[in-house]
Structure 1
Amino acid sequence: MNMLKFTYGTTVFLSSAMLMVLEITAGRIIAPYVGNSLYSWTSVIGVVLAGLSFGNWLGGWLADRNHRHRTLGIALGIGALASLLVLAMLPAYGTLIRGQLLSLAWTSLLLVFGLFLVPAILLGVVSPLVTTLYLRIDESTGRAVGLLHALGATGSIFGTFAAGFVLIQWIGTRWTIIMVAIVLALLALPWLVRGPHRTPLLMSLLVAGLGMAAVTDRMNGFVAPCDIESQYYCLRVIDNHDQPGTMNTRSLAIDHLIHGTNDLDDPESLLTPYIHGMDTLIESRFSRNTPLRYFFAGGGAYTYPRALAARHGESEIVVSEIDPAVTKIAQSELDLDISEMTVHHDESRYVLGRYGPNRFDVLVLDAFHDVGFPHHLATREFNNLIKNRLSENGLFLINAIDQFPNSILIRTLLKTLKESFEHVEVWIERPSGSQNRLTFILSASNQPFEFAEIESKHGVFRVWYNITDFIEEQSLKYDAITLTDDYAPIERLISVLFTSAQQL
């Protein structure tokens, strides 16, 4: 009797843990298709809770109809198969959903719904079914129900920490899901062998599992799209050698967005237009060969820090890149040498806070990630910190993505920056006729850029236009808000980017 109670408790604990492992893994495994945003995580949490809720109801319904151990074993066994099915479906289904002209919110929701709803329902069946079975051998209703609820909650906590702190970092998302399937299959065994028809059931589960594994392998479901799955991102290096006009270049993709392209033969080459534009603005403020003190919030492909280090070694280059794996892959694959830099693998605002006033001549915020912008790096309080850390003639540069001409995020950033800096400008390249999503450069300092356009003096010929007056007119017309640490609705401000295929 005590062994049966122990087995019931173990089943509830581990099934709850595996559900949370699936939930945490879901947010990471869909990132190469829809990025890592508030929308993707909201979809994951909502779908899993919906599946769990329906599964709880279904489990109670089955318990009232005298379903017992065999039903419990079947639910766990099919749950194992449904977990493997996630890997089998992901490549084709993810590509199909991403190719539709849907908003990011709908794309994320449909992707998670199709992949993770069924496993969540099946694992939701377990708790009410086990609770009913447990009460048949223990008449202490309150104690029994409280114990099983506590074991379920503790299992959920264990699964959350195991997935986030250990499994995904050490074995990756694919092997994490394979592990979930194996654990669920093992949990099913003691319940399947207790009832009648155990041999056909066990053989069916085995054959189905082998068949699902074969299908997953054929669909390349076991192959992760990442070169490195880090604590934070799915990192991929794209070799551009075979593409015409790309020279000997490689690009770094973080989740599903390319964050920079490095010319392996010429480290000073700035192929990415907004990086080239920032360099041009800096050169117009300071002499090209003047040693400066730079701080970069965000490393990415390290394209610009790498170019500065190659250009003149006397400049001080400080980079804050939260993910050590980004730096590692840039060193191994993108020809990065950090011997002339100071690299902090920590959060940029925290790192910058450790430096004293008037410490840097140029501060570059290059942290627009995926389809989001770190809200704590866009607020008035952060801008005040930046101003304090800049020298008297220092320059703060930001790159951000927004639609054009109705640039909701840009006019908000402009208004927020103007509360800290005397002079703020907005720059773009001339958009093509069909282009409505652009990369903007914002410059902020105590001195103005008194020209309407600026041309590159080195590398590819490009022109950037000062559209500050246009954005300010928008700010007045639409009453732009100021971003603060207490109120920074970045996702809402850029939600318009999520209404077309251009978002991806």
Structure 2
Amino acid sequence: MSTTRSLDALRLTKPELAVFVSGVASMGLEILAGRMIAPQFGSSIYTWGSIIGVFLAALSYGYHRGGKQAATRATNGRMARVFLLTAAYVAGLIFMGDLLLRATIGFPLPSRFASLPAIILLFGPPTYFLGYISPYAAELSSKEGIGEASGHVYMLGTVGSIVGAFATTYFLIPSLGIDQIALVFGVISVATAIALVGPRLNKDQIIVNGFVALLLVAAAGSGAAGISVEGRVVYETQTPYQELQVVDLGDTRTLYLDGQRHSAMDLEDPQRHVFGYTRYFHLPLLMTDDVDRVLFVGGGGFTGPKRFAHDYNVTVDVAEIDPEVIRVSKEYFGVEESAKLNIYNEGGRQFLRDTNETYDLIVLDAYRKDKVPFELTTEEFMELANDRLSDDGVLFANLISAPSGPASQFYRAEYKTISQVYPQVYSFPTSGGAVVQNIEVIATKNETRLTEEQLLARNEKRDIGIGLASEIRTYQEPPRTEDVPLLRDDRAPVDALLDPMVGQRYVLEETNETASSDVSTVRVAG
């Protein structure tokens, strides 16, 4: 008897089911919004703050409108219609989300607010619809008294949000693409609508539910064509950390992370440097002697690690935090672990903290235009890296910023921070002008500063397997740093420093290497 009562207590009524599912769907869509918005607007604190604010505002307005109507209009059938409207809008997101996203880029807003129109357009309406559910369910609740009914609804909605957050974060995003995840929430909404008006559906209900379900399936099918404006999509997924795509265009295979080019490989000549900035990885070999062990923090397509392991008698360790990036690099970019190339699935700071190895060169290649792990930028981290370097070791940081102007704040703050730890710091912008680009910052423990002429002379004398004269000629004098902050663990406003780059074109140089290692470059938008 007690077991039967317990089961009855766990069984949800139709209004309770509606509240629970609305919590699952609203929180799941909120997390999904971050993945859809990030490729165009980045995943800074401003983007996430805008997402949270829009979802709360849309839900609040839905609560308000639903509450005013609940006394006269609250029925299971009306809640079913709300879920069908939500599912239909989700179908539209699957089918036209990318087009709508790109259409909102041109709004004349300050950079930190640039993502707001896209978030409102894509996710405001379905979240508003879901806001109707809680007041309707409270009105239909079997609980005695307004207080008990309201509390019960809040509890179920919150539990649903918890389930939606964990399920989306730990199961859906690592396993499915964006369109597939949206399809899951659309199907759940249709299933809930059927449950609310079941078990017997009339002819009109069958037609409407069937039409919305068909709309979802058609949208999901059309969104999986495998073609993008960048080329043919060979593979794509949502990892625990980012959206990942492998795209082939001609003989070039490119790794995209959150919609931005990260690494590229020539399918006909896998050892060739496709992007010009990876040639700069070899510059430290002109600044120090006897490089025996190298650490790359950040793997991506493993262009640098592969080339070092292939060209030199060195041991290369790579610390890459994203396990899917490691798997994809092995399957699609020809990466093979060996006695000379070791890959560790760890964050860079954790790896440096735990390792007992001493390195002659540490390459920081984990920065992006819009997403920079602040824990790899601070003075404390630079001191940790310094402790893991040999006496004549070199630190190399591949930054994305501008060498001057408003968009240079991150570069200049990082230069200032690195200069607090290392006696000499050098800068090598990879493209002309004040555009957003890769800027290679190299720091040494040597007190004596090398000039551009000395580096050119070393390039002539030393055989390091690659000619770097054109790279050396991008040598830049130290920037002004008095107006930018020193980055520390207790205050590293990286998002604010990156903010001026939002909406600016990222110029990425491609190379045409020849057998003699002479290089011509072409600018492309990153």
TM above 0.5, yes or no, is: yes
Alpha-carbon distance between aligned partners in 1 of 2:252 and 2:286, rounded to the nearest angstrom: 27
Is 2:160 aligned against 1:158? Answer: no
Residue 123 of structure 2 corresponds to: 116
Contact map agreement 2:74 2:140 (CA 8 A) in 1? no
Alignment of 1:483-498 (within 5 A): 483-498=487-502
| Offset, 1:9 | 1.9
| Offset, 1:298 | 0.5
Change (3 A) 1:239 1:459: farther
Residue 354 of structure 2 corresponds to: 354
Q: CA RMSD in A?
A: 2.8
Paired AA for residue 350 in structure 1? Q
After superposition, give the CA deviation of every residue in 1:154-209 in whole Å (9 maximum; x if it has no partner).
111111000000112123322221121111112112433599x9532442332244
Alpha-carbon distance between aligned partners in 2 of 1:155 and 1:175, rounded to the nearest angstrom: 20
After superposition, give the CA deviation of every residue in 1:351-378 in whole Å (9 maximum; x if it has no partner).
110113x711111111112412211100
Alpha-carbon distance between aligned partners in 2 of 1:2 and 1:388, rounded to the nearest angstrom: 60
Change (3 A) 1:298 1:78: same
Contact map agreement 2:320 2:346 (CA 8 A) in 1? yes
Is 2:92 aligned against 1:88? Answer: no
Change (3 A) 1:100 1:331: farther
Is 2:419 aligned against 1:418? Answer: yes
Paired AA for residue 240 in structure 2? Q
Change (3 A) 1:235 1:104: farther
Which of these residues, 173, 181, 184, is aligned with residue 178 of structure 2? 173
Residue 245 of structure 1 corresponds to: none
Paired AA for residue 425 in structure 2? V
| Offset, 1:80 | 1.7
Residue 51 of structure 1 corresponds to: 58
Residue 301 of structure 1 corresponds to: 301
SS of 2:397 mapped into structure 1:
strand
After superposition, give the CA deviation of every residue in 1:223-260 in whole Å (9 maximum; x if it has no partner).
896523322222222324x3xxxxx4422111211112
Alpha-carbon distance between aligned partners in 2 of 1:411 and 1:62, rounded to the nearest angstrom: 56
Residue 75 of structure 1 corresponds to: 82
Alpha-carbon distance between aligned partners in 2 of 1:122 and 1:55, rounded to the nearest angstrom: 6
Change (3 A) 1:218 1:149: same
Residue 482 of structure 1 corresponds to: 486
Alignment of 1:19-58 (within 5 A): 19-58=26-65
Contact map agreement 1:87 1:222 (CA 8 A) in 2? no
Percent of aligned positions with the same letter in both sequences? 26
Which of these residues, 180, 199, 203, is aligned with residue 199 of structure 1? 203
Alpha-carbon distance between aligned partners in 2 of 1:156 and 1:162, rounded to the nearest angstrom: 10
Residue 513 of structure 2 corresponds to: none
Contact map agreement 1:15 1:126 (CA 8 A) in 2? yes
Paired AA for residue 93 in structure 1? L
Alignment of 1:296-445 (within 5 A): 296-312=296-312, 314-339=313-338, 340-356=340-356, 359-406=358-405, 407-429=408-430, 431-432=432-433, 436-445=435-444
Residue 234 of structure 1 corresponds to: 243
Paired AA for residue 207 in structure 2? M
Residue 142 of structure 1 corresponds to: 147
Residue 4 of structure 2 corresponds to: none
Change (3 A) 1:103 1:315: farther
Alignment of 1:278-289 (within 5 A): 278-279=281-282, 281-287=283-289
Paired AA for residue 152 in structure 1? G
Contact map agreement 1:291 1:316 (CA 8 A) in 2? no
| Offset, 1:55 | 0.9
Contact map agreement 1:424 1:443 (CA 8 A) in 2? yes
Alpha-carbon distance between aligned partners in 2 of 1:370 and 1:429, rounded to the nearest angstrom: 15
| Offset, 1:303 | 0.4
Alpha-carbon distance between aligned partners in 2 of 1:320 and 1:352, rounded to the nearest angstrom: 9
Contact map agreement 1:88 1:216 (CA 8 A) in 2? yes
Alpha-carbon distance between aligned partners in 2 of 1:166 and 1:227, rounded to the nearest angstrom: 16
Alpha-carbon distance between aligned partners in 1 of 2:82 and 2:17, rounded to the nearest angstrom: 16
Contact map agreement 2:253 2:265 (CA 8 A) in 1? yes
Count residues with an aligned counterpart.
483
| Offset, 1:216 | 5.6
SS of 2:247 mapped into structure 1:
strand
Contact map agreement 1:75 1:125 (CA 8 A) in 2? yes
Paired AA for residue 304 in structure 1? G
Q: Which moved more, 1:224-233 or 1:40-49?
A: 224-233
Alpha-carbon distance between aligned partners in 2 of 1:500 and 1:207, rounded to the nearest angstrom: 42
* TM-score, with structure 2 as normaliser: 0.84
SS of 1:261 mapped into structure 2:
strand
Change (3 A) 1:5 1:295: closer
Q: Which moved more, 1:157-166 or 1:145-154?
A: 145-154
Contact map agreement 2:403 2:429 (CA 8 A) in 1? no
Q: Which moved more, 1:55-64 or 1:216-225?
A: 216-225
Contact map agreement 1:36 1:370 (CA 8 A) in 2? no
Paired AA for residue 331 in structure 2? S
Alpha-carbon distance between aligned partners in 1 of 2:227 and 2:266, rounded to the nearest angstrom: 28
| Offset, 1:217 | 4.1
Structure 2 gaps, min length 5: 1-7, 461-465, 508-525
SS of 2:246 mapped into structure 1:
strand
Q: Which moved more, 1:446-455 or 1:380-389?
A: 446-455
| Offset, 1:269 | 3.0
After superposition, give the CA deviation of every residue in 1:410-461 in whole Å (9 maximum; x if it has no partner).
22112111221222222224505xx522211111121144113655662576
Change (3 A) 1:449 1:48: same
Paired AA for residue 396 in structure 1? L
Change (3 A) 1:366 1:213: same
SS of 1:466 mapped into structure 2:
coil
| Offset, 1:150 | 1.2
Contact map agreement 2:398 2:441 (CA 8 A) in 1? yes
Contact map agreement 1:27 1:44 (CA 8 A) in 2? yes
Contact map agreement 1:90 1:221 (CA 8 A) in 2? no
Alpha-carbon distance between aligned partners in 2 of 1:63 and 1:194, rounded to the nearest angstrom: 24
| Offset, 1:123 | 0.8
Contact map agreement 2:273 2:279 (CA 8 A) in 1? yes
Alpha-carbon distance between aligned partners in 2 of 1:216 and 1:298, rounded to the nearest angstrom: 33
Alpha-carbon distance between aligned partners in 1 of 2:431 and 2:158, rounded to the nearest angstrom: 55
| Offset, 1:213 | 4.1
Contact map agreement 2:401 2:411 (CA 8 A) in 1? yes
SS of 2:481 mapped into structure 1:
helix
Contact map agreement 1:12 1:127 (CA 8 A) in 2? yes
